[in-house]
Structure 1
Amino acid sequence: MARATLTLSLIFVSLFFVPTKIESAKVAATDPATDPATNFIKASCRATTYPVVCVQSLSIYAPSIQRSPRQLVQTALSVSLERAESTKTFVSRLTKFRGLKPRERAAIKDCFEEMSDNVDRLSKSIKELKSMGTARGKEFIWHMSNVETWISAALTDDSTCLDGFSGRALNGRIKSSIKGRMTNLAQVTSNALALCNHFGEKY
């Protein structure tokens, strides 16, 4: 039992303190008080449900976003996909832990399936946004409808995963760790959807 507890602790340490690829990207230093791109991001994030999270997750990409609404949405979706992939990897490793209760194992397995769907849907939304090119009118609306539908479905995946851990019987470190990651993923994905909706309203 002690060895199992130690193994789980090592999993938590290795997964919580290793930055994802997108978060560790090197970007040029800018003065956030005067940089037009950063100010554009801050202004755009006011339309989201979690503006603080929005600014924190996107401001480091200001040099590539500049003041492009399309690039802003593209980056927001990329951040969401990166978080989803990281969460999927985390859940996958938990499925291999031997000290799980039967209900924990079942909930983790279901959550892994939801995360697989999540990654697939966010990937499709990014590809759809890229493929729309300079589309206008009905064609633009059709592409944006697809993007928004897949992002919304990804948000549903997040909620479904958490629902599997409802009830006191599943309280513990595993539930807390998954809840923390899923909450952050849901927030950045919700922000991406809000930015996408705002972008779509301009055309």
Structure 2
Amino acid sequence: MEKLVLYLLLLVNTLWCTAAASGATTPTAMDFVQASCKTTLHPPLCVRCLSSYAGSIQGSDHRLAKAAVTVSLSESKSAAAFVSKLARVRGIKPREYQAVKDCISTMSNSVASLSQSVQELAQVARTTGQDFEWHMSNVETWVGSALTNQNICSRGFAVNGHVKDAVNKRMDYVSQVTSNALALVNRFAVRHRKGIHKP
């Protein structure tokens, strides 16, 4: 049991935005990221996750949304790997094991939805009118679905204990990252419709 607790502590304490991007960052580029992140539910986390992308975003709402979803995908993959490792840890209770297995399934769906969203956002840059609306509707639906699956994973643990605490902490984190991504996707869609976005 002590090994299980230590293992969980080590895994949970590695929470951080792991995605990285190249590009020189200027004060103006960072100002855009910081201002955009104010529209999310978790602005400090948003800025931390996207600051390394500021140089490549360069004031583009589209590139900002794509970077946010890319970060969410990376963090979701990391969370899915974390949960998968829990299924192989000795000392886990049968009900916890079943909850972990269910969580693996929902996180797999979450990763798939975010992967589709990244691909769809790449198409958006070349569309207008009804084509734009169709692609954006897909992205908004898929990112929302990914967030729902992450929340389902957290709610699946009926047994209190270290496993539930570790999973909930990890899922709370990745859900906040995905919530921020969804907010920035929605922001991009609104600004594009109003014609005030930068390509």
Please say if 1:125 is aligned against 2:117. yes
CA deviation after TM superposition for structure 1 residue 56, in Å? 1.4
**1:164 & 1:96 partners in 2: Cα distance?**
18
Q: 2:76 aligns with which of 81, 84, 91?
A: 84
Question: How many pairs were matched up?
Answer: 192
RMSD between aligned alpha carbons?
2.0
Paired amino acid for 1:123: S
TM-score by length of 2: 0.88
Q: Please list, as runs of the form range in 1=range in 2, the aligned pairs for 1:138-177 lying within 5 A after superposition.
A: 138-166=130-158, 170-177=159-166
Q: Which ranges of structure 2 fall in alignment gaps of 5 or more residues?
A: 194-199
**Between 83-92 and 58-67, the greater mean CA deviation after superposition:** 58-67
The 3 A distance-change label for structure 1 pair 195 and 20 is: closer
CA deviation after TM superposition for structure 1 residue 18, in Å? 8.3
Q: Which residue of 1 aligns with 2:44?
A: 52
TM-score by length of 1: 0.87
**1:127 & 1:49 partners in 2: Cα distance?**
25
Q: Which residue of 1 aligns with 2:182?
A: 193
Contact 2:62/2:125 (8 A) holds in 1: no
Q: Which residue of 1 aligns with 2:172?
A: 183
The 3 A distance-change label for structure 1 pair 11 and 52 is: closer
What is the SS of the residue equivalent to 2:157?
Answer: coil
**1:59 & 1:20 partners in 2: Cα distance?**
10
Contact 2:18/2:75 (8 A) holds in 1: no
* Identity across the alignment (%): 42
Contact 1:20/1:86 (8 A) holds in 2: no
